[in-house]
Structure 1
Amino acid sequence: MTSRIPLTVQPTTDQVAVVCLSGPLGADTCADLALELEQHMGRVARQGQRLVLDLAGVELVSAAARRTIQRATDHLVHEPVLVVAARPSVRGVLEQAHLAGIRLHETLADALASLPLPPAPETSPGTPPPGHAPDQADNMREELSCLRAAARTNGLIGIAQGMLMARYDLPGPAAALTLLRTASRQLDVPVRELASAVVTAPPPGTAEEWFPGRATHVPPPAGAFLRAYGGDVLDRREVLAAAVHEAIALSDADGAEVHFTDAAQDDALFLDHHHGLGAAYRDQVTLVTEPPVVCARAQRQCESVTVPDVAADPGLAAHPAGHALLTAGTQAVHSTPLITTDGHCAGTLTLHWGKPGVRLTSEQRHSLDTLTTEIAAWRSWYLRTVVLDALEYLHQHHRPRSPRS
């Protein structure tokens, strides 16, 4: 008997298809691994694409699995499978094997950069000049970074689907995903966020209500930032965009990012909003679990962390996220934790500068601390109101399996 390997198949672009594997690739998974590789390589070959294997979730590769990969890919020496995000131990195993049919890359952005650019269309009056072709390639790379970001949370979404199927007797994963997506659209809550809530929330209280007696319209927190914002506090994207631009304005930063913690993933930090950051860097910080990434340092210490010179910081400079920062022109970063009134770190706000040696003044630091406190309060309110409303919507709009005749 074989053991199924956790697998996620991502949507494709014209050039590549991304397949994400997770868990240990042991001897008992070889038959499934060979079948999956054969199917996906056949499909991309028919569609004129390249296969990308994202191994970020793979814990180990056995000798038997390595031989399986070799047999499946040896004929692809001229158009090898692109392997990305392998852990050091996994990467070491694959490097030592000298597999002719794969190419190892640290990030998806690196893998995509290795591909030839799509041929530029023939120019005609009114069409952009040839110099625009690299921009088209950058857009494709950015799109695929977003696909990989989604892949990193698809395991969580799969767990939520399973829970909904069991709880509501839904006919299959597609029905559970449709329910998640419908509630996501209705309440404007990201599917990933809603899946996390499904996994971490207590079971529904009654058949009619998930949260019996809960007040559905608790007033949002009062603060200078939200008053100045003046928009819809239910609109997550607009609130965070305003917060990021406020942080950039008060600090003279060149870019910024907001991460929030995910209770369903051991309080890992997921990237929720950003401004002025390159795709390669975002690829590295989509989901952050530990230092030396600066936001993880701020989360762990529950206090602000400044790196005035990324290149001079040994841990960060040697990390892929540090490489991506420097490549994108970021020389200094500062991260502030989002601390709630009960002392919990709800996330981080991180600023970027294009020159080294930047340090916030005491006035800037005070203003930033005030802003992040308000963001933390808004985030806590959002989870207790909007996200719970979305769970209530799920509970009241599910459609169980039709009775068999």
Structure 2
Amino acid sequence: MAGEERVAPVTGRRELNTSLMVQQVTDRVEVLCLSGVLDTEGAAALGRELAGRLGSTPPERRLILDLTGLRLLSAAGIQVLDTHTRHLSHRPVFVVVAAPHAREIFSIAPAPGLRVCATLDAALASLPDVALPTAVEATDTSEVLSEEVLGLRAKARTGAVIGMAQGILLERYGLVDSQAAFDLLRQASQHHNVPLRVLASAVVTAPAPTAPSAEWFPGRLPAPPPSSNLLAMGDQQALDRGQLLRALVYEVVTVADADAAEIHLVDPAMHNSLVLEAHSGLDAAYRDRVAQVNDPRTVPGRARLRGEPVQVADVLTDPALVASDEGRMLPATGSRSLCSVPALSEDGECVGTITVHNTRPGTWLTQVQVSALRTLAEDLAAWHSWYRRTVVLDALEYVHAHGQTARAS
């Protein structure tokens, strides 16, 4: 199988609203994933992409458009989709649209060259001209395609933030091109072991350096990592974000006697969403759905809003959860009851959530277990604050120092 290709242009603008990524997942099927906001500029980029791919696609090749990553679909975007697919009414392009309000847009003014599907699996199953010889083989291939596109969609979600950071660095330091900006981000990410998305988010949200200061954050004093009650957190583990979060999620599963768990942290650059950072026991489709959580009807969303633990004894009978896309997916994953605990900073702001799942309905957590989860959430909030003020700012200083060097040369 061929790899993915990012097709959206990266510019020097401070904000890149639309991300387009395409992957040839078999020799006969391509999936084009869109994320962000399909505004006028994004619609123009999509139009160029569709013109190139649909204009030169052999009859045996098929293109699927995955729009589940879009937060907003503008009228310009709808017009571009119709314009470039109208001639394909005899052989329509399948478009994956999950949100009910977005599907309603296509039902009000149906485009003859598009056929709307709620899931990628449904779109794949609707391609009779690429059907495989046996049902078993078709099922296996559908699962492989789904996994690959879910991974592609995850990259598309972070691509917009990385693109915004590239645009800021390109303009701020007068770099030669967007690749130089990306290289600067990558070098700082590797040097300080800070994930690229986390560093890009910090570039986007941090106040601009005060020129002509040699430092981005002058007068900053180093601080030791916070003490932890339940995690054996040494200095090296505190520095390694991925290792610490993996250790935490396994501790959560053990403490709560849970069948699955998920840890979210708030990312201001991703629309202040709860972003999935670590998990255990969750299937790929559900992880994709909760990769960014904004819906206050979800259990993590409620815990964040209330600032206190929220337990749902049965996901099938909770009206708010049943009304959310995330909640409707839970029964298929085997989860029947949930509990989410907010991670609160010293000033009471929710910086993340810890959520545990049980395959049986009912409130299974004891007060001792809830208290233990609260302690873990406090540890998470304290570490997260230290990590942002220490490790991430160190990485930003690296970006600033090397960006000024590049500008001087």
Scaled by the length of structure 2, the TM-score of the pair is 0.83
Deviation larger for 299-308 or 28-37: 28-37
> Is residue 343 from structure 1 mapped to residue 348 from structure 2 by the alignment?
yes
Deviation larger for 171-180 or 382-391: 171-180
- 1:385 maps to 390
- 1:19 maps to 33
- In the TM superposition, what are the counterparts of 1:3-402 in structure 2 within 5 Å? 6-15=17-26, 16-20=30-34, 22-23=36-37, 33-42=46-55, 48=61, 50-54=63-67, 56-57=69-70, 59-62=72-75, 66-76=78-88, 80-85=92-97, 87-108=99-120, 111=123, 134=139, 137-205=142-210, 206-216=212-222, 218-227=223-232, 232-398=237-403, 400=406
CA distance in structure 2 between the partners assigned to 1:184 and 1:46 by the alignment:
44
Deviation larger for 135-144 or 186-195: 135-144
Q: Which amino acid aligns with 1:12?
A: Q
Shift of 1:354: 1.2
Contact in 2 for aligned 1:108/1:283 (Cα 8 Å)? no
Q: Which amino acid aligns with 1:353?
A: N
Q: 1:79 to 1:391 in 2, by over 3 A?
A: farther
Q: Calculate the aligned-residue CA RMSD, in Å.
A: 3.3
CA distance in structure 1 between the partners assigned to 2:315 and 2:234 by the alignment:
33
Deviation larger for 336-345 or 42-51: 42-51
Contact in 2 for aligned 1:109/1:280 (Cα 8 Å)? no
Give the unaligned 5+ runs of structure 1. 122-129
Q: 1:29 to 1:155 in 2, by over 3 A?
A: closer
Contact in 1 for aligned 2:38/2:77 (Cα 8 Å)? no
Q: For 1:222-263, what per-residue CA distance to the aligned partner results, in whole angstroms no more than 9, with x for missing partners?
A: 122232789622111111111111111111111111100012
CA distance in structure 2 between the partners assigned to 1:237 and 1:43 by the alignment:
43
CA distance in structure 1 between the partners assigned to 2:407 and 2:311 by the alignment:
54
Q: Which amino acid aligns with 1:57?
A: L
Contact in 2 for aligned 1:30/1:68 (Cα 8 Å)? yes
SS in 1 for 2:353: strand
Shift of 1:132: 8.4
SS in 2 for 1:177: helix
Shift of 1:115: 6.0
Shift of 1:400: 3.3
CA distance in structure 2 between the partners assigned to 1:149 and 1:214 by the alignment:
34
Deviation larger for 364-373 or 33-42: 33-42
Shift of 1:270: 0.8
Contact in 2 for aligned 1:229/1:242 (Cα 8 Å)? no
SS in 2 for 1:296: helix
SS in 1 for 2:239: coil
CA distance in structure 1 between the partners assigned to 2:327 and 2:306 by the alignment:
20
CA distance in structure 1 between the partners assigned to 2:131 and 2:241 by the alignment:
36
Give the unaligned 5+ runs of structure 2. 1-12
SS in 2 for 1:227: coil
Count of aligned positions: 389
CA distance in structure 2 between the partners assigned to 1:353 and 1:43 by the alignment:
50
SS in 2 for 1:10: strand
Shift of 1:274: 0.9
Contact in 2 for aligned 1:260/1:272 (Cα 8 Å)? yes
Contact in 2 for aligned 1:25/1:58 (Cα 8 Å)? no
Scaled by the length of structure 1, the TM-score of the pair is 0.84
CA distance in structure 2 between the partners assigned to 1:385 and 1:47 by the alignment:
54
CA distance in structure 1 between the partners assigned to 2:394 and 2:57 by the alignment:
41
CA distance in structure 2 between the partners assigned to 1:224 and 1:140 by the alignment:
43
Q: 1:78 to 1:359 in 2, by over 3 A?
A: farther
SS in 1 for 2:231: helix
Shift of 1:374: 0.7
Shift of 1:119: 5.3
CA distance in structure 2 between the partners assigned to 1:157 and 1:254 by the alignment:
34
CA distance in structure 1 between the partners assigned to 2:298 and 2:394 by the alignment:
34
Shift of 1:288: 1.2
CA distance in structure 2 between the partners assigned to 1:231 and 1:225 by the alignment:
16
